[in-house]
A and B are shown apart, each in its own frame.
Chain A
Amino acid sequence: MTKQLSGPEVAQQIGEQFPDAVTGSDETAVFVRSEALLGVARFIKESLNLDYLNSITAVDYIDHFELVYHLTSLKNNHSIILKTKCHDRENPIVPSVVSLWQGADFQEREIYDLMGISFEGHPNMKRIFLWDGFQGHPLRKDFHLDVPGGGKASL
């Protein structure tokens, strides 16, 4: 069974290296500021051997977006969850982690497509499922089908 690393312990390790980055932690997750995300991710990837990115997810809490990074070390058999918040709803930008984990490529494009969060430094930041010209981002809580090209809600 993969061991869940304790959030506060990892937060402490990160805090020693990046004093302002950590905004909080709970049992399994560490919250970091989005500006410091790439540096923190690179640091814990190397210090904790986190060689595998299970998934990236975005959650819409209406007043902010939250990005959830599930990270695992296949070598040490442990895992940690990294979370970051993005408060800008009009033009949300978060640093991309494709340079650290190649598997982030399509997942970040999916988040951009359906949630509208842009990833800075992504090599190919464009829609992946929906077509070019689709209006809006359908997994956002405020998405309505009445927008042009958004299907036929009235049927």
Chain B
Amino acid sequence: MEKRGSKVEIEKPYISSKLDKAEGAEIEALIAASKEPYPDPVAWLDEEIQRNVLLASTEHIIDWAKRFSVWPVAMGLACCAFEMIAAAASRFDFSRFGMEVFRASPRQADLMLVAGTLTWKMAPALKRIYDQMAEPKWVLAMGACTISGGCFRGSYSVVPGLNLIVPVDVYVPGCPPRPEGLIYGFMELHRKVAKDKLIKKEKDD
């Protein structure tokens, strides 16, 4: 329960005005905490796992397996969701990449595919779903609104960029992007997943 942070405790029986106040307080706290964007993630695994030694060939197999079964969690927020659905349906069919299983539960998903305008009212729910996903996890921001707020940037209700709320791995621009664009984004994500090493490498810079 402590992990929820800004969540205000609600006593029973539920009273609508108290729920409203709690929701408002949660959103205000998130707005106050979301002034700086998260850096785009490069290294994902924590120190404990990185110190474990694995054989390179094992790593290769793990990467290969991870790469071809990235299950997305359904997070269609606005019109981009239809392009996402089109990409999943028979014509474009991203089950070719082993990722046809849209999970309704974040606990079974590896990828959060955020398609559409993110509003401040939705942002706490999105963050909660992201927090519930098991590691390793990736985030793909689809469409102009998700990436930067799009044409609603500067509006009173729209989050100006998903990376204020969660770290983002792949950005797919477009309004909305075509399914081909989304599939290209997936392939970039697969490349990124395959490059994720379990053993920490020395940094070049």
Contact = CB atoms under 8 A, between A and B. Distances in A.
Interface of A: 124, 126-127, 129-134, 138, 143, 145, 149-153, 155
Given A130-B157, A145-B156, 20 more contacts: A124-B16, A126-B17, A126-B20, A127-B20, A130-B121, A130-B156, A131-B20, A131-B27, A133-B21, A133-B24, A134-B156, A138-B157, A149-B28, A149-B31, A151-B157, A151-B158, A152-B154, A153-B154, A155-B149, A155-B160
A90 to B, nearest CB: 21
Query: Most B CB atoms within 10 A — which of A126, A130, A152, A153?
Result: A152
Top 3 nearest A-B pairs (CB, nearest first) are: A132-B24, A133-B24, A132-B20
A155 B28 CA distance: 18
A155 B31 CA distance: 14
Contact of B156 (A124, A127, A151, A155): A151
Contacts of A150: 156
Nearest to B148: A155
Interface residues of B, number: 20
A145 B154 contact: yes
Given A126-B17, A149-B31, A131 B121 contact: yes
B82 interface: no
Interface in B144-165: 149, 153-158, 160
11 contacts: A129-B157, A131-B20, A131-B23, A131-B121, A134-B156, A145-B154, A149-B28, A150-B156, A153-B154, A155-B149, A155-B153
Contacts of A126: 17, 20
B32 to A, nearest CB: 9
A145 to B, nearest CB: 6
B35 to A, nearest CB: 9
A155 B24 contact: no
Interface string B25-39: 101100100000000
Contacts of B157: 129-130, 138, 151
A129 B20 CA distance: 11
A155 B154 contact: yes
